[in-house]
Amino acid sequence: MGFLEIRNVTKAYGNVEVLHHVDITVEESEFLVLVGPSGCGKSTLLNMIAGLESITGGEIAIKGRVVNKVHSSKRNIAMVFQSYALYPNMTVGQNMTFGLEMHGVPKPERDRALADVAKLLQIDHLVDRKPGQLSGGQRQRVAMGRALVRNPDVFLFDEPLSNLDAKLRVDMRTEIKKLHQKLRTTIVYVTHDQIEAMTLSTRIAVMNKGYVQQLGTPKEIYDTPANIFVATFMGSPAMNILPARVAMADGRPQARITDAEGTERLLPFSQSNLAEWEGREILLGIRPEAITDPEGADRKSTNIVALANEVGVTEPAGSDTYVTMTLSGKDVIARMRADASVAPGEVFNFAVNMEKAVAFDPKTEERIKP
Amino acid sequence: MSAASQDTAVSTGRVTRTFLYLVLILFALFYLLPLYVMGVNSVKPLSEITGGNMMALPQIWTLAPWRSAWSTAQIGVEPTGLKPYFLNSILMVVPAVAISTVVGALNGYILTKWRFRGDTWVFGLMLFSCFIPFQIVLIPMAVVLGKLGLAGTVSGLILVHVVYGIGFTTLYFRNYYAAFPTELIRAAQIDGAGFFRIFWRILLPVSGPIAVVSVIWQFTNIWNDFLFGVSFGGTSQPMTVALNNLVQSSTGVKEYNVHFAGAILAALPTLFVYIVAGRYFVRGLMAGSVKG
Ligand SMILES: Nc1ncnc2c1ncn2[C@@H]1O[C@H](COP(=O)(O)OP(=O)(O)OP(=O)(O)O)[C@@H](O)[C@H]1O
Ligand SMILES: [Mg+2]
């Protein structure tokens, strides 16, 4: 049995169901990230775990205890809000110990807990300040500190980094990850930033329109997305999706596509069961980093295919150069090494790593599993 | 706010500024004139008023009119001065302001942070109560006070003013608390604070500006009210009614100097409240409309 179990949970506002039959099990000291586009129900699910929203159907259990009817203060959870939600009239220290005070913890013990956590987060010099006198990053730390002093069973984070500037966000991301590795706490973390999801989590639940689309490790989600939504939502730039027809050649299934000039090309699949799809349309998914210059191709791959095609636009991005081209009438993005010499308009010899290619059923948009 | 006015002051030329100040001084004089007239005439003997210039400074300075207004002037049939009525007013206004402000704060808290089905309707109806003219409620109120046995008492007046004021105070606090982030309430709930604890520890400490608005508004309205006082005051009439009786008495000589002193006495408490709390007043009214 899991540490935190979400069993067949639904949420409805009036007649509108915004969460449909969510099933997630979180093990102790796991870092689960709920990720999805705006309005998909991430915050709603988190608030239900926190006890701030009622549960319409199903049940949520923490450490084996069903908490549907348990008040949030009795669930032994702590939450970090997007706006930090620091009490403006209290000092940092009072903010952090308010929860302990409400739970009747005596003052000396509160002070000890405060000192420990403040030291851990390096905010010990700030405890007498008011939240209004702190920078965004400091407020963020205090908000985390307030959650930490409670020593809860489950930490809940609702987009805690979205109010920080890009640089600070990356720093705090690392810091949260470090903290998790050090304290081994159980965390449920909401974000709509897929990079945050990939970097922080031990497992990811990708959500869309109130459904959990896929639940898995970052690698599973990235390499074997369950459907087109997950494939295009996770990863930046997004996975290239292009229509292709399955044909048999050299005894293996191949994706028949057209290049920029309209000439037919064959890309051999590594996935053998696609033979069943011979003659039918599929959607071929290739990540930008699987289309490279020959020198940049993955040496460990057993299925690198050469593909000459006209270069559309090149976008040097410092660490890489992105190249846009046309395949099967779609814009396709390829990721070159930064110093690959590609010029717009010329025909370039790309290397496609077909080992990483995935195929989707165009009707259901589900991935065709091997 | 002050930064913005400094900006404009810097960019305006000298001539315009002088002109602006002249106009402002003129207006100020215009508004201060009545106060001046009341002031100087309340410290002269009556003969100086009836016999001469209202605008002149007194030739003989005297505090007799003040003493008379306070403790010996004929109010109705009794020569009690305004003192007992002043006390009545204080006894009425302090609890009425306190109760209506506290109830308004609680209402605002509930209507924004503990929302329930139909809460907008409840608020709409309370808002509606702000637009009900005094005259309409006179008879129903008289009946209610009679049934409660509060007719003609200070408690009755307090009840009337609380009921009438709750609409306004609720409006103030609701709008103020609407801008207060709900996430803070949720954080406090997770921290284990209950309904009153959240109100007391989280919300009230930041309610200063709007509480000042509510207090000033309620104080001025209740202190200056005449209609409810005269209708329901009975034997415990407030200052306003007494002042009217003093000024309107048709017997004897009209002691203008005493009247002036009485009028100033009646205005003093509101003046006091404005001076003490006034600078928060504007700040409170602006709160919520501007972020930060
Ligand atoms: N009180 C409510 N009444 C009706 N619908 C609501 C209510 N609260 C949320 N919803 C709906 O529930 C859905 C999920 O909302 P939720 O806040 O969980 O989204 P989210 O995934 O957190 O999005 P974001 O990334 O923008 O924060 C949305 O479609 C929203 O419109
Ligand atoms: Mg959200």
Taking a contact as any Cβ pair under 8 Å apart, which residues of chain A between 32 and 71 contact chain B?
47, 50-52
Chain A interface disruption, residue of B117, B190, B198, most A CBs within 10 A: B190
Any ligand 1 atom below 6 A from CB of A44 = yes
pLDDT at A43: 93
Specify the pLDDT at position B292: 35
Cβ neighbours of residue A74 closer than 8 Å, sequence gap 6 or more: none
Q: What is the pLDDT of residues B141-162, one digit of tens each?
A: 889 999 998 888 889 999 999 9
ipTM for this prediction? 0.80
Burial class (CB in 10 A: 0-12, 13-18, 19+), B74: middle
Burial class of residue B24 in the structure, from the number of CB atoms within 10 Å of its CB (0-12 exposed, 13-18 middle, 19+ buried): exposed
What are the pLDDT digits (tens) for A228-261?
999 999 998 999 999 999 999 888 999 999 998 8
pLDDT of residue A192 exceeding 80 = yes
Question: Of A153, A160, A148, nearest to A67 (Cα)?
Answer: A153
> Which ligand sits closest to the CA of A207?
1
DSSP characters for B212-238?
Answer: HHHHHHHHHHHHH--HHHHHH-TTS--
% of residues, chain A, pLDDT over 70: 100
CA B269–ligand 1 middle distance (angstroms): 51
- A275 pLDDT band, cuts 50/70/90, is very high
Residues contacting residue A228 through CB under 8 Å, at least 6 positions apart = A241, A283, A285, A360, A365
d(CA B44, CA B66): 10
B236 in Cβ contact with B154 (< 8 Å): yes
Question: Is the beta carbon of A319 within 6 A of some atom in ligand 1?
Answer: no
Is residue A3 within 8 angstroms of chain B, CB to CB? no
Q: What is the nearest CA distance from A125 to chain B, expressed in angstroms?
A: 24
Smallest CA–CA distance, residue A163 to chain B, in Å, is 15
* B179 close to A (CB below 8 A): no
A9-23, A150-164, B13-27, B244-258: range with lowest mean pLDDT: B244-258
Parse chain B into domains and list their residue ranges: 14-72, 83-289
Contact B190 A98 (CB under 8 A): no
CA–centroid distance, residue A40 to ligand 2 (Å): 8
pLDDT digits (tens, 9 = 90+) for B169-209: 999 999 999 988 888 999 999 999 989 999 999 999 888 88
Closest CA to B161 of B82, B217, B85: B217
Mutation target among A47, A67, A89 for the B interface, most CBs of B within 10 A: A89
What would the CATH number be for the domain defined by B83-289?
1.10.3720.10
- For A52, name the nearest residue in chain B, comparing CA atoms only: B186
Residue A39 Cα to ligand 2 midpoint, Å, equals 7
A359 within 8 A of A284, measured Cβ to Cβ = yes
Treating both helix axes as pointing N-terminal to C-terminal, what angle do B256-286 and B239-248 enclose, rounded to 10 degrees? 150
> How confident is the model over B103-137, as pLDDT tens digits?
999 999 999 988 888 889 999 998 888 888 888 88
Scanning B205-224 for CB atoms below 8 A from A yields 205-206
User: What are the tens digits of pLDDT across the range B46-93?
Assistant: 877 777 777 778 888 888 888 888 888 777 777 788 888 888 899 999
Q: Ligand 2 mean position to A41 CA, how many Å?
A: 7
Q: Tell me, yes or no, if B117 comes closer than 8 A to chain A by beta carbon.
A: no
